[in-house]
Amino acid sequence: MAGVPEMSWKRSFDLCTANPPDPSIAMHYRAYRDFLQRNFPERLRELESAHTPDDVTKILRKSRSKDPAYLALRREPAKVLGWLQKGLVERKDRP
């Protein structure tokens, strides 16, 4: 996480990028909807109609993204489906 106050933001970012945390920082499940909406809106629309973990797996395999957050979703299709079905990852257009 960049932002050490004693140095410029760019220097802090460069240092943090060169030394990523191990294991990488996990995203909260509520952040995944925003992540998908910004970066993979078509996949999000498809995921909202998924009914099984196999459906989720097929949908997520359509992209060759190497983004760590996307890969984390691909590793846990049952969790993704559960979040969507339980409404834990709510749609922004719902009241």
Res. 57 pLDDT band, cuts 50 70 90: very high
pLDDT of residue 82: 86
List the Cα angle 38/4/19 in 5-degree steps: 70
pLDDT of residue 35: 84
> Domain tally for the chain?
1
Report the distance separating Cα 93 and Cα 37, nearest Å.
Answer: 12
* Structural domain harbouring 83: 27-95
16: in domain: no
Do residues 82 and 50 make contact, with C-beta atoms less than 8 angstroms apart?
no
67: in domain: yes
Q: In the predicted model, what is the mean pLDDT of the chain? A: 78
pLDDT of residue 33: 80
Q: What is the pLDDT of residues 29-48, one digit of tens each?
A: 777 888 888 899 999 999 98
84: in domain: yes
Do residues 80 and 86 make contact, with C-beta atoms less than 8 angstroms apart?
no
Say yes or no to pLDDT of 92 above 70: no
Report the distance separating Cα 61 and Cα 26, nearest Å.
Answer: 20
92: in domain: yes
